[in-house]
Structure 1
Amino acid sequence: MNMKPTTGTIRTTCAYCGVGCGVLATPEADGNVSIVGDPEHPANFGRLCSKGSALGETIGLEDRLLSPRVDGRLASWDEALERVASGFSRVIAEDGPDAVAFYVSGQFLTEDYYVANKLMKGFIGSGNIDTNSRLCMASSVAGHRRAFGADTVPGTYRDLEEADLVILVGSNLAWCHPVTYQRLAAAKAARPAMKIVLIDPRRTASAEIADMHLAIEPDGDTALFSGLLYAIAEGGAVHCDFVARHTEGFVDALRASRAFPVAKVAAATGLGEAEIRAFYDLFTAREKVVTVYSQGVNQSVGGTDKVNAIINCHLATGRIGRPGMGPFSITGQPNAMGGREVGGLANQLAAHMAIENPHDRALVGEFWQAPNIARKPGLKAVDLFRAVETGKVKAIWIAGTNPVVSMPDADRVKAALAACPLVVVSDVVSRNDTLPFAHVALPAAAWGEKDGTVTNSERRISRQRPFLPLPGEARPDWAIFAEVGRRMGFSGFDFTNAAEVFDEHARLSAYRNEGSRDFDIGGLAGLASDDYDALDPVQWPVKASDNEIGEKRFFADGRFYHPDGRARFVAVRAPVRETAANGEFVLNTGRVRDHWHTMTRTGRSARLSAHIAEPFAELHPEDGKQLGLKPADLVTIRSAHGSATVRCLFTKRQMRGSVFVPIHWSGEFAGTGRIDAVVRPSFDPISGQPGLKNTPVTLSRFRASWYGFAVSLNRPETSASDYLVTARTGAGWRTELAGLEVLGDAADFARHIIAPSQEAEFVAYSDAKTGTHRFAAFEGSRLVGALWIAREPVAVARNWAVGQIDADARASEATGVSRAHLLAGRTGADRPDPGAIVCACFSIGVNEIAAAVVSGQALSVEAVGRHLKAGTNCGSCRSEIKAIVDAKRAEPQPAETELSEA
């Protein structure tokens, strides 16, 4: 199964978001891999974001799962696979097929997804295979199916560049899809008349290029777009011919929208009437409109209605399927779309067929020669883990995801897995929050080793090609599922490579299709292995009858996929707006710029951790003042389900009464940072997608007796103190600490944290009266760790301190300046502190940018780019750079500086 190392440059696809950027990977003689963007890939044309640029830093074998484990001990593949196959077979024999389940991942390749779905739905005979894409895009799937009759994304990325109005709804494109954001920013720079509207409770980085920011109250989107439909009709902007010839349900939808005149929209959204009217006027006056929406729409208990409220407006105006117009769902994961194509969600069948449709079930069963095909939808994610908790599901296989961190009410998921009789986990890492509950752990291939395809947000299929050998005993996910299928006695799993899986997937998409289904890649069936290896990025559909392959849109001809060929308006009703109880805040969760999911990949990169090294709670300054919080305090966030403690960040970008916390930190990196333990498990009744953006919580100051910051070569355990967050540096780790109880023996604690070796030489400074303690540990002249402790959040030049551990810092003399500076936690005049990293691509800190502004060398974002390179790669830091430039230029300057600028 192991392949030889690759030489030369390999074209592959990024492992992160749904943009689907092309990557050129070149293994080098020293074992490193050079990563650059592929200039020929039509998704990114050579651009990469900070995460994509750092992919080469995340592929080492440290902390990799390299051999199977059974009950915590090393085992052979034969023993592990037999335990899985016999265990699942036994549960099925005793309790039926619905007593087992798979929970898989948008990190899967399409081939992995296909085999897992075929095994569960086709041969085990249950619908119980769901995916973490349920947390991401399920409401879009449901909304598309209601409106279009199929899960079809109509448009392309080029539409964003050709539009006259782009609406970003619940999408921080600048941080979550940076390369697409840069394409949009470049289009606006080339055509300043283009208008961009950002609809988001927070003023995110995407607001930098927005002409209008609507700071909408949580879950106000349905009312806003219902009111827009009413305004479209009142303003005479309905495309009457399109509506009459190609749609159904307009009258009912319009009747429902009349409940939302502007005054009621204002009450439901918290927006002013004037700004609502201005937005409606922008929409009605411009034909070329693209509405881009993402997690802020989908992750809601009314997410499906939000999606349909948006689509209603595009159907009413006929603005769909033509260049520069349409609703555009941009996916969060690299292969959420590929998973949807093969039926990876519990309520789908492969090839965009419907599990509830007897004709579709018969067709798929016939193609697979699977007499036991599932006859009803399976359990969606939240209900699936509840079924594990109650014992209804007795065996679960989790692959490529970390639900003990990512699921809402995560502590309940944790308890459910602890009580489950058989938990199987396939993963690439040897440690995460879910693996401790695995009876069987299976080593899977990782990015750089995997071979297959992914589909991005614009329906473009791209190859992920291997350029590294499979390490240890790791195997591709599709091969693991296929072998278990064979061991369970099922036919149809004799695949020998990914090309064979893809070929079957392509043939099924065209099987008895004849234009009745949107998903058809029959033109890619029958590819020889060499042709599959060389497959260029291609946008589906690719029918066998197609004469040429190129960019494609759906619905320009007005033909949809309901049986009558018409689209459906959906009469939506905005939910009753929830208001926080006295003393409560609304918790909103989401992503940050440089991390991904639960950090099992990005947490390996020191560069990506340098921008934001610990979880935080973003609060409006006035809310912080009312709570008695000060900058850099720790705050505990509580709900009825759990609690988390994170660092305070005050910013006026946040609206009053709301708190934003990122999703990425797990128990592996932050013992108290698992925010999804706080999130309530409420979900959309149609899509099953959890409402991860709106949980009522209370906030209180974490009353620490002491705070600490450390750099060390060894990694401290997260249980070492009441608050402890670790992040990688180039050579070791940086750690934030705090404790509720008065610290006992500070020297003993320091040794435990930064230098467990008894051979280390310690230098120390302590002041018991002020509670200040500083320690540095050396082995010879090598710095192995330093720790600073104080009664308030520690004032240390953190990135400078990290540089000391990374640079193999050496004290020049036993009593020299280096050791004094280390204990003081600040730089010397000859070594300026770069400050917190702003530009991860080029490791440029806030102090460096500020100094360039103050010196007069860089008085704009563009000038900072020319002077320092900051902001010139992925561009996702440009809004932060602008804030620094604006703040520094607003400060009073010495007279000679003012004259020189004049």
Structure 2
Amino acid sequence: MKRPQSACSLRSTCPYCGVGCGVLLAVDDQGALEVRGDPDHPANFGRLCSKGSALSETVSLDDRLLTPRVHGQDTDWDSALDLVATTFKDTIAKHGPDSVAFYVSGQLLTEDYYVANKLMKGFIGSANIDTNSRLCMASTVAGHKRAFGTDTVPGTYEDLDEADVIVLTGSNLAWCHPVLYQRILATRKARPDQKLVVIDPRRTASCDLADLHLPLALGSDVALFNGLLAEIEKRGLIDAEFAKYVSGLDAALVSARADDLAATGLSDDVLAEFFDLWCGTKKVVTIFSQGVNQSSSGTDKVNAITNCHLATGRIGKPGMGPFSVTGQPNAMGGREVGGLANMLACHLDLENADHRNAVKDFWSAPVMPEVAGLKAVEMFKAVGEGKIKALWIIHTNPAVSMPDADKVRDAIAGCDFVVVSDITVATDTARLAHVLLPATGWGEKDGTVTNSDRMMSRQRAVLPAPGLARPDWHQLAEVGRRMGFNAAFEYETPAEIFREYAALSGIAGGFGRDFDISGLADLSNTAYADLAPTRWPVSSGKKGGRFFADGGFFTPDGKGRMLPVAWKPPVAKTEKRYPFRLNTGRIRDQWHTMTRTARSPRLSAHLAEPFVEIHPEDASAQGIGPTALVLLKTPNGRAIVRAMITDRTPKGEVFVPMHWTGENAPSGRIDALVPSVTDPISGQPESKGAVVSVTPFAAKWYGFAISQMPIKPKYDYWALAKTYAGYRVELAGMTVPEDWIEEARTLFGLPDADVQTMLDPAKGTARVAFHVNGALVAALFVSRTPVAVMRDYLAALPGQEVPGVLAGKSPANQPDPGPVLCSCFNVGINTILAAIETRGLMSVEAIGAALDAGTNCGSCRPEISALIAKAQTKEAAE
């Protein structure tokens, strides 16, 4: 379904990570979207990562939810909204305000987030609104509040240009925030003396150009930074002048001295090199992300880092400070509007009576909750126990992304009343809803987002809203009005919401809080439409810039706090049944649960199915060979994924991405394996510390299929990925079908298509292809072992006349590019290898000049470098 032509040539913001890249959008005369990096946006200066570069492939209307649905039947907006409002009102009347909840998302724009928070806290009267940012940034919020008094990011992206040492801890920046990583590499090229340190149990892509890699034991960050703090004291580097702005120094030092560096598993030489770099360099920025946050001691990890910067006064000055990089496009905006269950808007405190009353008066709200609501894990536990009876989920997929995901899925399925606002029905969560509300998506929405360094940018609509889709703020305001709160929700534009929000922030500023954008409270509609990227605060007292260079913290006594913290191992203990530690995370070209990125053939080509990284020695000990399927089990669940044998992951640990869902790889729903253990302070789940068994999955047959149309198999293992010609799917099962031709017809839904076969029952192989009017529409390749065919070649064939398809390989005169390595320019591994071997291109720069690979976002450069190194090793051996 093609979109009609719409407005074009405007500035907007990318909808992926917290870098907040600016994009230039245009719609051509065929209705196709064109996306380029905005060279004038201060977050990216024109750079885009592979995901941002492929945005135009993600806005098709396939699977779009275009009309409200109630109990699976299309309906009109009035009927759907009346049902939502009436059910929430009746539930509250019968069971109280805490019997309902909202679960929202960093995909929301700030204006959407603000209305949701206002409706739940100010008018329903419950704090039961939480966000999927709880799963990624809550420990940072809690750590910031403990250290600074508010959730303040002290520095800016410019500090990455100014720093002499950059430390990445718990952050694979090269894959998860590629534009920031490329910014660092550009600085290092201009200033070769700048050093890069990566602290990570795995050897990730971020290590490729690092000066030092610390492969610390999983979860031991507190021990490492306590060791650093003790070393800072030992070398006499405590900043006595800055210490007058800080409390808790002595207690923090006592705790730091008591911790045991042996917990890190690092050698004395590596520790000494790290301490020398950090202590011997004044301009240090410590960047941290999910590897720090997603832990049962995540808040302590954050404070272990901030302790080192506070002790040395290395904060709030050019090139210095702790720097949290956020995972979602508006995780910061959600934190600012009070989207977490324990916060109020504008960084005000829910449990502070003065703050609460001020917000209540500003909103003319009838009631305000006095205690924090249920955080995400607690919320879905309450849903499962029947305490939450009406639940509204907006732009997120908790049936996949929450820890203990099977229980969460079952809890949602058993809830009395579930509303889901989203762009599609094709998610594990949306399929459980009683009411589905069609929302506008990126490219159709209008509002603001805030990135990791406090830069507010506009998302602007370049595409028309499809069908009956409506903005999220509009849906929420309509329900608010229908619940009887007319005056409070009479919004007609997002600009009105933004002005109200900015005015409320002035009250927060009056309380001495950091978040104050009251200087924007009088923006006209035109000025809002034209708003350029702006870093908060924006007030009469302060504009943009850094915080805390000269103290000025937001604690009651105005001092920054150092906290006594101590290393604690992950809660789950390895044992004979579960001898490995499970680390989860993201990959380069996919995003969250793939609702958007799975639409892009380009992004689906790099890593097309769920996998587990396992060390070669562990794989050998477990009897796991290359390309084998692997069964993962924890006390919470099980998964089947493909083995990726690599020494990037240390012995005793395995790494599995978290993106796959019931829509594209049901056995790869990895958060079903993660227990609902949380940090007691932040409520953030420990997503990187589960214990797991790893054994071969001995399937009776394996398959690979291609199809013009999407398919949904019913086998023990399958993983579907979109291609430019249709779809590709990996298959495996424990039961061998009796008739592979009939099985293939059923799989593809092709009862009458012409069939071509190559069957060998004795060897257990079968190859079946279907043609319509001479053109290939689908093919299935089956074997008793993982199928050996040219997958990337085959995936491009549907729709063509290919009589020799059952050979499973390209003709001799047609080279196979191999699996895509550079997603930005669709360059395959074999193409790069041929350039290395036949043209002697022995540098990443030479490959880039010849093939473009690695010249855009740069996140494939480590893989190109590895291919070159392997070729050089082979050449030396010969």
TM range (shorter): over 0.9
In the alignment, the residues of structure 2 paired with residue 229 and residue 480 of structure 1 have an alpha-carbon distance, to the nearest angstrom, of: 50
In the alignment, the residues of structure 2 paired with residue 725 and residue 29 of structure 1 have an alpha-carbon distance, to the nearest angstrom, of: 36
1:426 equivalenced with 2:417 (yes/no) = no
The structural deviation recorded for 1:391 is: 1.1
The structural deviation recorded for 1:162 is: 1.0
Contact 2:142 2:682 in 1 (8 A): yes
1:68 equivalenced with 2:61 (yes/no) = no
The structural deviation recorded for 1:222 is: 0.6
Residue 724 (structure 1) aligns with: 718
Contact 1:5 1:467 in 2 (8 A): no
Residue 699 of structure 1: SS of its match in structure 2? strand
Residue 566 (structure 2) aligns with: 573
Contact 1:857 1:867 in 2 (8 A): no
Residue 784 of structure 1: SS of its match in structure 2? strand
In the alignment, the residues of structure 1 paired with residue 211 and residue 282 of structure 2 have an alpha-carbon distance, to the nearest angstrom, of: 18
In the alignment, the residues of structure 1 paired with residue 653 and residue 146 of structure 2 have an alpha-carbon distance, to the nearest angstrom, of: 32
The structural deviation recorded for 1:780 is: 1.3
In the alignment, the residues of structure 2 paired with residue 318 and residue 343 of structure 1 have an alpha-carbon distance, to the nearest angstrom, of: 30
1:366 equivalenced with 2:361 (yes/no) = yes
- Counterpart among 865, 872, 875 of residue 855 in structure 2: 872
Residue 639 (structure 2) aligns with: 644
Residue 900 (structure 1) aligns with: none
Residue 352 (structure 2) aligns with: 357
- Consecutive unaligned residues of structure 2, counting only runs of 5 or more, are none
In the alignment, the residues of structure 2 paired with residue 714 and residue 421 of structure 1 have an alpha-carbon distance, to the nearest angstrom, of: 35
Contact 1:854 1:889 in 2 (8 A): no
Spell out the pairing of 1:730-879 with structure 2 (5 A cutoff).
730-754=724-748, 756-805=749-798, 808-811=799-802, 819-820=803-804, 822-879=805-862
Q: TM-score, normalised by structure 2?
A: 0.98
In the alignment, the residues of structure 2 paired with residue 703 and residue 279 of structure 1 have an alpha-carbon distance, to the nearest angstrom, of: 44
How big is each residue's C-alpha offset from its partner over 1:484-527, in whole Å with a ceiling of 9 and x where there is no partner?
00111113100001000001010000126247010000111111
Residue 258 of structure 1: SS of its match in structure 2? helix
- The amino acid across from 2:800 in the alignment is A
The structural deviation recorded for 1:153 is: 0.2
- The amino acid across from 2:501 in the alignment is H
Residue 560 (structure 1) aligns with: 553
The structural deviation recorded for 1:435 is: 1.3
- The amino acid across from 2:665 in the alignment is A
In the alignment, the residues of structure 1 paired with residue 706 and residue 442 of structure 2 have an alpha-carbon distance, to the nearest angstrom, of: 30
- The amino acid across from 1:574 in the alignment is W
The answer to which of 840-849 and 188-197 deviates more is 188-197
The structural deviation recorded for 1:750 is: 1.6
Spell out the pairing of 1:48-67 with structure 2 (5 A cutoff).
48-67=48-67
- The amino acid across from 1:810 in the alignment is E
Residue 814 (structure 1) aligns with: none
Contact 1:857 1:863 in 2 (8 A): no
Residue 259 (structure 1) aligns with: 258
Spell out the pairing of 1:283-682 with structure 2 (5 A cutoff).
283-490=278-485, 491-511=487-507, 513-514=509-510, 516-544=512-540, 552-576=545-569, 580-582=574-576, 584-682=579-677
The structural deviation recorded for 1:743 is: 3.0
In the alignment, the residues of structure 1 paired with residue 737 and residue 613 of structure 2 have an alpha-carbon distance, to the nearest angstrom, of: 29
1:892 equivalenced with 2:871 (yes/no) = no
How big is each residue's C-alpha offset from its partner over 1:343-387, in whole Å with a ceiling of 9 and x where there is no partner?
000000001000011110011111111130111110000000000
In the alignment, the residues of structure 1 paired with residue 381 and residue 752 of structure 2 have an alpha-carbon distance, to the nearest angstrom, of: 51
In the alignment, the residues of structure 2 paired with residue 276 and residue 853 of structure 1 have an alpha-carbon distance, to the nearest angstrom, of: 37
Q: TM-score, normalised by structure 1?
A: 0.95
The structural deviation recorded for 1:30 is: 1.2
1:104 equivalenced with 2:90 (yes/no) = no
The structural deviation recorded for 1:544 is: 3.8
In the alignment, the residues of structure 2 paired with residue 279 and residue 428 of structure 1 have an alpha-carbon distance, to the nearest angstrom, of: 47
Change (3 A) 1:492 1:5: farther
- The amino acid across from 1:736 in the alignment is E
Residue 198 (structure 1) aligns with: 198
Change (3 A) 1:544 1:704: same
- The amino acid across from 1:803 in the alignment is A
In the alignment, the residues of structure 1 paired with residue 225 and residue 152 of structure 2 have an alpha-carbon distance, to the nearest angstrom, of: 21
The answer to which of 125-134 and 884-893 deviates more is 884-893
How big is each residue's C-alpha offset from its partner over 1:16-70, in whole Å with a ceiling of 9 and x where there is no partner?
0000000001001112111100000000000100000111111111100011111
In the alignment, the residues of structure 1 paired with residue 4 and residue 522 of structure 2 have an alpha-carbon distance, to the nearest angstrom, of: 27
Contact 2:508 2:515 in 1 (8 A): no
In the alignment, the residues of structure 2 paired with residue 416 and residue 826 of structure 1 have an alpha-carbon distance, to the nearest angstrom, of: 47
Change (3 A) 1:241 1:484: same
Contact 1:759 1:779 in 2 (8 A): no
1:697 equivalenced with 2:692 (yes/no) = yes
Change (3 A) 1:876 1:893: same
- The amino acid across from 1:19 in the alignment is V
The structural deviation recorded for 1:441 is: 0.7
In the alignment, the residues of structure 2 paired with residue 438 and residue 625 of structure 1 have an alpha-carbon distance, to the nearest angstrom, of: 45
In the alignment, the residues of structure 2 paired with residue 655 and residue 502 of structure 1 have an alpha-carbon distance, to the nearest angstrom, of: 48
- The amino acid across from 1:535 in the alignment is L
The structural deviation recorded for 1:282 is: 1.0
Change (3 A) 1:886 1:757: same
Change (3 A) 1:515 1:128: closer
How big is each residue's C-alpha offset from its partner over 1:120-176, in whole Å with a ceiling of 9 and x where there is no partner?
011111110000000010000000000000000000111112111110000000000
Contact 1:220 1:269 in 2 (8 A): yes
In the alignment, the residues of structure 2 paired with residue 95 and residue 108 of structure 1 have an alpha-carbon distance, to the nearest angstrom, of: 29
In the alignment, the residues of structure 1 paired with residue 187 and residue 519 of structure 2 have an alpha-carbon distance, to the nearest angstrom, of: 33
In the alignment, the residues of structure 2 paired with residue 7 and residue 254 of structure 1 have an alpha-carbon distance, to the nearest angstrom, of: 59
Contact 2:598 2:721 in 1 (8 A): yes
Contact 1:149 1:567 in 2 (8 A): yes
In the alignment, the residues of structure 2 paired with residue 116 and residue 230 of structure 1 have an alpha-carbon distance, to the nearest angstrom, of: 45
How big is each residue's C-alpha offset from its partner over 1:293-346, in whole Å with a ceiling of 9 and x where there is no partner?
000000000000000000000000000000000000000000000000000000
Residue 555 of structure 1: SS of its match in structure 2? coil
- The amino acid across from 2:456 in the alignment is I
The structural deviation recorded for 1:430 is: 1.9
- The amino acid across from 1:517 in the alignment is R
Change (3 A) 1:117 1:295: same
Residue 531 of structure 1: SS of its match in structure 2? helix
The structural deviation recorded for 1:118 is: 0.2
How big is each residue's C-alpha offset from its partner over 1:218-269, in whole Å with a ceiling of 9 and x where there is no partner?
11001110111111001111101101x1011111111111103xxx20x211
The structural deviation recorded for 1:528 is: 0.8
In the alignment, the residues of structure 2 paired with residue 675 and residue 369 of structure 1 have an alpha-carbon distance, to the nearest angstrom, of: 45
How big is each residue's C-alpha offset from its partner over 1:78-133, in whole Å with a ceiling of 9 and x where there is no partner?
11111110111111111111110000000000000000000001111111000000
- The amino acid across from 2:59 in the alignment is I
Tell me how many residue pairs correspond in the alignment.
873
The structural deviation recorded for 1:731 is: 2.6
Residue 249 (structure 1) aligns with: 248
- The amino acid across from 2:856 in the alignment is N
- The amino acid across from 1:741 in the alignment is T
Change (3 A) 1:395 1:764: same
Give the superposed CA RMSD: 1.3
